[in-house]
Structure 1
Amino acid sequence: MSLFITSLNSGSNGNCYYIGNDNEAVLVDAGISCRETEKRMSRLGLTMSKVKAIFISHEHIDHIRGVTVLAKKYQLPVYITPDTLAHGGLTINAQQVISFTPYEPVQIGSLSVTAFPKIHDASEPHSFIVAGNEIKIGVFTDIGAPCEHVIRHFQQCHAAFLEANYDEEMLDKGRYPYYLKNRIRGGQGHLSNKQALEIFTTYRPAFMSHLLLSHLSKDNNSPALVQELFDQHANGTRIIVASRFEETAVFNIMA
Structure 2
Amino acid sequence: MDCKHLFIASLNSGSNGNCYYVGNEREAILVDVGISCRETEKRMFRLGLSMQKVKAIFISHEHTDHVKGLCTLAAKYNLPVYISPGTLSGCRFNLREELINYLNNNETIQIGSLTVTGFLKIHDASEPYSFVVACGETKVGVFTDIGEACDQLIFHFRQCHAAFLEANYDDALLEKSAYPYFLKKRISGGKGHLSNKKALDLFSSHRPAFMTHLLLAHLSKDNNCPDLALELFRQQANGTEIIVASRYEETQVYTIFEPAAAHSF
Q: What is the TM-score of this pair, normalised by structure 1? A: 0.99
Return the offset for 1:81: 1.2
Equivalent position of 2:263 in the other structure: none
Return the offset for 1:133: 2.7
Equivalent position of 1:187 in the other structure: 190
Match among 230, 247, 252 for residue 249 of structure 1: 252
- Cα distance in 2, alignment partners of residues 176 and 98 from structure 1: 38
Return the offset for 1:85: 0.9
CA contact (8 A) 1:166 1:220 kept: yes
- Cα distance in 2, alignment partners of residues 66 and 130 from structure 1: 22
- Cα distance in 2, alignment partners of residues 239 and 186 from structure 1: 26
1:166-217 CA distance string (max 9 Å, x none): 0000000011000000000000000000000000000000000000000000
Aligned AA for 1:251? Y
Equivalent position of 1:165 in the other structure: 168
CA contact (8 A) 2:85 2:103 kept: no
Return the offset for 1:90: 2.4
- Cα distance in 1, alignment partners of residues 125 and 161 from structure 2: 28
- Cα distance in 2, alignment partners of residues 75 and 146 from structure 1: 34
SS at match of 1:102: coil
- Cα distance in 1, alignment partners of residues 250 and 78 from structure 2: 24
SS at match of 1:182: helix
Return the offset for 1:51: 0.2
Equivalent position of 2:16 in the other structure: 13
SS at match of 2:193: coil
SS at match of 1:239: strand
Aligned AA for 1:205? P
- Alignment RMSD (CA, Å): 0.6
Match among 58, 73, 78 for residue 81 of structure 2: 78
CA contact (8 A) 1:139 1:161 kept: yes
Match among 182, 203, 213 for residue 210 of structure 1: 213
Equivalent position of 1:152 in the other structure: 155
Match among 99, 102, 107 for residue 105 of structure 2: 102
Percent of aligned positions that are identical: 65
CA contact (8 A) 1:3 1:133 kept: no
CA contact (8 A) 2:62 2:88 kept: yes
Structure 1 unpaired stretches of 5+: none
- Cα distance in 2, alignment partners of residues 166 and 104 from structure 1: 31
Match among 58, 64, 68 for residue 67 of structure 2: 64
- Cα distance in 1, alignment partners of residues 130 and 84 from structure 2: 12
Return the offset for 1:100: 1.4
Equivalent position of 1:178 in the other structure: 181
- Cα distance in 1, alignment partners of residues 240 and 27 from structure 2: 26
Equivalent position of 1:125 in the other structure: 128
1:18-59 CA distance string (max 9 Å, x none): 000000000001100000000000000001000000000000
Equivalent position of 1:25 in the other structure: 28
Q: What is the TM-score of this pair, normalised by structure 2? A: 0.95
SS at match of 1:213: strand
- Cα distance in 2, alignment partners of residues 9 and 71 from structure 1: 18
Equivalent position of 1:135 in the other structure: 138
Aligned AA for 1:202? S
Equivalent position of 2:115 in the other structure: 112
Structure 2 unpaired stretches of 5+: 259-265
Which has the larger displacement, 228-237 or 87-96? 87-96
**How many residues are aligned here?**
255
Equivalent position of 2:201 in the other structure: 198
Aligned AA for 1:180? L
| 1:90 and 2:93 aligned | yes
